[in-house]
Every structure is written in C-alpha cells, then in structure tokens.
A and B are shown apart, each in its own frame.
Chain A
Amino acid sequence: MINSLLRFGLIFIILVILQVLMFNNIQFSGYVNPYVYIMFILLLPVEIPSWLLLMLSFGTGMVIDFYSGSPGMHSTATVLAGFVRPFILRSNSPRDGYEPGAQPSMLTYGFRWFLLYAGIMILVHHTLLFYIEVFRFADFFRTLLRVLLSSLFTLTFVLIIEFYRKGR
C-alpha cells in the first residue's frame, strides 16, 4: 500500500516536472502541444475506486493548471478523461478479464492493447482540452488538426516512456 503510494507519487512528480519544464515549452508551429501528464491517469491501477480516480484526475489537472496559468482548463479535460477511463477499460478488456490488483501497462497486456487504450484516452483528453482552449467553433477543423497532431505526439511520448518502464 505504502509502496504503491510512493510509486505513484513519484510517477506523478516526474510527469508534472516533465510536463511543466519540457513539454509546455514545445513550440512546434502552433499545432503540436503534447500533454504527457495524462499518462498518470493512464497508469493508475485498474481497480481504483471511481471517486478516487476522479479526485486524482481533478487534482492532476489543477496542478498543471497552476503551472500553466489557466485555471480550470486542464482540470476539466482531465476529469473527463478520468470519468471515461472505466468505460474504455471495460470495453477494451482482455479475453479473460483483468486480474485483481492489475495495472494497465504494456508489460501485462501487450503493445496493441496499450496502444488502443492510451490512444482513446489521449484523444478524449486532448479533444476537450483544445476545444476548451480556443472556446469557439470557428476554426473547427484547424482545432481538430491540432488535436490529432498533438494526440499523436503525446501518444508517441507516452509509448516511449512506457517502453522505458517496460525495459526496467
């Protein structure tokens, strides 16, 4: 219990530092803004209570908001991601279901499963985030392009980090 608390605390801190110090500063023609911190929501245990998941999502979003100077923007998107996560996990479950105490990692369930799971989660999160950021439906397709490109980059970074974790 204490062990996993420490582990997730560490993951959280590393991801926030990565996000704030590195990914927030990526300026790639205005279309690519990866938000890798969403990986924290991805990695939480499968059997985590929904209310705790939502609270953690909100807290994560608030911390990122605090560093980005955009109150409410990331928390709204992250809470949505936390809300849909159980549904995605259920509809994407492996043939013999999740084991007790399982973690949604590439090591346990394979590359394809993780790709699908992370892809959908990141897409949901980024869609809401980017549309909230522009807050208008003018330039709808331009925003959509930003969502797709940024999701792709975030997914790439998440997969790289996951590969690194897997190798450890």
Chain B
Amino acid sequence: MRSLLNFLERYNNLIIFLILEGIGIYLLATRNYYHNTRVVNVIRWVTYGVEEKISNTRNYLNLRQINENLAAENTALRNSINRLARNNNSVFFSVSDTIYQQLYQYTTARLTSNSVNKQKNFFTINKGTRHGITNDMAVIADGGVAGAIVGCSENFAVVMSVLNLDFRLSARIKSNGYFGSLSWDGRDYRKAILSDIPQHVTLSIGDTIETTGYSAIFPEGVLVGTVIDFQKPGSDFYSITVLLTTDFRKLHFVDVVANKRKQEFIELENQIQ
C-alpha cells in the first residue's frame, strides 16, 4: 500500500498527463470524422492480414463440412427439380396439383468402404433403413450410375457396384433410343460392355449412353458413359465398349434414388405374369 502511494506520488504528473492525453486522443478519434476514418482505416489495415489468414485456415479445415453441405444441397435441389418438373405428357394440370407427386427421392450418402479391383465389387454407404433406404434402390454419383442397393442394415447399406459381374443395367443410346444391356466384363474399372444393340443401328465413337426407365430402379436419362469402341462379332449384335462416367476410384459421395412408385409398378407387373 505504501509503495503504491509512493508510486502514485512519484509519477502523478505522468499519470495525469497520460489520462489527459488519453481523453484528448479519444475525443480526437471519436468526434472528428476525418480522424475517426483514419483510425478505423489503420486498424482495418492491421487486422485485415491476420483475419485473412485465419479465415483461409478455417476454410481449409472446414472443407469436409463444406463438401457434405454441398452434397446435401445438391440432393435438396434434385428433389425440388423433381417436385417442380411436371409430367410433360399431361396437357392440363391444375396449379395446386394434389395428384402429381414426386416420383424420385434423392438421399445423399458417403462411402464408408469401396473396392474396384475384384470381380464382384461392392461398396458400403453410411445410410441405411433408418434413412429410408431399402433394397433395389439406384445409386448415382454426380449424375452417373454407380450401382444398386443389395442389402441394408439400420445405418449402412451395401451397394452392388456397376463393376460387378452380376450387375445388369438397361441402357440406351441417347441419340436414337436403341436400348441394350450393360454389364461389366471384369477387366478395366473404367470400361463396361453394352450388348444387345442390333448391327443395323448407326453408331459412332462418343455417343452418349444413358439409362432407360424400364427397370423401376434407375430414373430415366441418368448418364452411364460414352462409346469409345464397338465391334461386330459373329452375331447380330454389336459389342460396344463404354467409358463409364463415374470414376469408381474417386467415389466419395453418392445419391441414393428411391422410386416412390416402384411398389405399384412391381405389383402390376406381377399380376400380369
């Protein structure tokens, strides 16, 4: 206490000086428009560099979160496209249409395991029955086919990849509509074989292959790949090599597509058969 008083006594001039100068500078910086601007500018200039660095680092660290958000947003947008896109073959529809229902529902999922080097490849995703995933749903990645759900637990689902010898997909040539069956021959993870296209069809390298809507699994018009080679073996059909759109080696996020009318479709087909 005594030393504090001594200190105050010794430096009281300096203290008063500093207080008064503080008041002066405070008035200067707050009451004068010009000086205020200058002070704010200098502070901004000093903090700007630091803030930019922090923000850059934070962005980098949050990239995973950002990616997941973007994937979720894509799914939401796809859903809203499906909600908004009207049936093009119905000429009349009321504005508040209760009959029209969303046909496909998309759910985003992340891969938890993947393989491309076996003959029968499967991958696992982190969504399951709890998220409304059931067997025989289509899995697409960035607009290209990826596989179909073959088994699901509460939180996970196993997807049969296109790169599986047992996988069959109904696919067509976009330009002329001829459809065939797509399968994988077990060799190159980028290439699949499209068969059952008759030889009278004109084909050219680079033709787009897309899904048909015939299976009730895949929506119509999902990209499969492009023609890179075709041969005419002895039979009546081409053997077309398709470069797959989806690169299975860098698959991270996929969309699971649920066809809401699949049940109805299958029941009807079963009635007839």
Mark A residues whose CB is within 8 Å of B.
50-51, 54-55, 57-58, 61, 65, 70-73, 75-76, 79-80, 82-83, 86, 132, 135-136
Main secondary structure of the interface of B (DSSP, over half): helix
B27 touches A75 (CB 8 A): yes
Point out the residue from A57, A61, A83, A135 that lies within 8 Å of B38, measured CB to CB.
A135
Mark B residues whose CB is within 8 Å of A.
12-13, 16-17, 20-21, 23-29, 31-32, 34-35, 38
Query: Which residues of the partner chain A approach B38 to less than 8 Å between Cβ atoms?
Result: 135-136
Query: Which residues of the partner chain A approach B34 to less than 8 Å between Cβ atoms?
Result: 135
Using known A-B contacts A50-B13, A76-B28, determine if residue A135 contacts B20 with beta carbons closer than 8 Å.
no
Query: Which residues of the partner chain B approach A70 to less than 8 Å between Cβ atoms?
Result: 32
Using known A-B contacts A51-B12, A58-B23, determine if residue A132 contacts B17 with beta carbons closer than 8 Å.
no
Point out the residue from A72, A83, A136 that lies within 8 Å of B25, measured CB to CB.
A72
Nearest B residue to A59 via CB reads B20
Main secondary structure of the interface of A (DSSP, over half): helix
B24 touches A51 (CB 8 A): no
Nearest B residue to A75 via CB reads B24
B20 touches A58 (CB 8 A): yes
B24 touches A72 (CB 8 A): yes
Query: Which residues of the partner chain A approach B24 to less than 8 Å between Cβ atoms?
Result: 58, 61, 72-73, 75-76, 79
Complex formed: what's the CA distance from A72 to B34 in Å? 13
A135 touches B35 (CB 8 A): yes
B21 touches A73 (CB 8 A): no
Point out the residue from B17, B28, B31, B35 that lies within 8 Å of A83, measured CB to CB.
B17
Complex formed: what's the CA distance from A136 to B38 in Å? 8
Query: Which residues of the partner chain B approach A76 to less than 8 Å between Cβ atoms?
Result: 21, 24-25, 28
Using known A-B contacts A72-B26, A76-B25, A136-B38, determine if residue A54 contacts B20 with beta carbons closer than 8 Å.
yes
Point out the residue from A51, A65, A71 that lies within 8 Å of B13, measured CB to CB.
A51
Complex formed: what's the CA distance from A136 to B39 in Å? 10
Complex formed: what's the CA distance from A55 to B24 in Å? 12
Query: Which residues of the partner chain A approach B20 to less than 8 Å between Cβ atoms?
Result: 54-55, 57-58, 75, 79
A79 touches B17 (CB 8 A): yes
Complex formed: what's the CA distance from A51 to B11 in Å? 11
Query: Which residues of the partner chain B approach A51 to less than 8 Å between Cβ atoms?
Result: 12-13, 16
B27 touches A54 (CB 8 A): no
Complex formed: what's the CA distance from A94 to B12 in Å? 27
Nearest A residue to B14 via CB reads A83
Point out the residue from B13, B28, B31 that lies within 8 Å of A132, measured CB to CB.
B28
Q: List 6 A-B contacts (CB under 8 A).
A: A54-B13, A58-B24, A75-B20, A76-B25, A132-B35, A135-B38
- Measured CB to CB, the closest approach of chain B to A56, in angstroms, equals 11
Complex formed: what's the CA distance from A135 to B28 in Å? 10
Q: Give the residue among A61, A79, A86, A136 with the most B Cβ atoms within 10 A.
A: A79
Complex formed: what's the CA distance from A8 to B13 in Å? 22
Query: Which residues of the partner chain A approach B32 to less than 8 Å between Cβ atoms?
Result: 70-73
A71 touches B21 (CB 8 A): no
Query: Which residues of the partner chain B approach A86 to less than 8 Å between Cβ atoms?
Result: 13
A72 touches B13 (CB 8 A): no
Complex formed: what's the CA distance from A80 to B12 in Å? 15
Q: Give the residue among B24, B27, B32, B34 with the most A Cβ atoms within 10 A.
A: B24
Complex formed: what's the CA distance from A136 to B26 in Å? 17
**Extra contacts besides A65-B27, A76-B25 (11): CB < 8 Å:** A51-B16, A55-B20, A71-B32, A72-B26, A75-B23, A79-B20, A79-B24, A80-B21, A83-B13, A135-B34, A135-B35
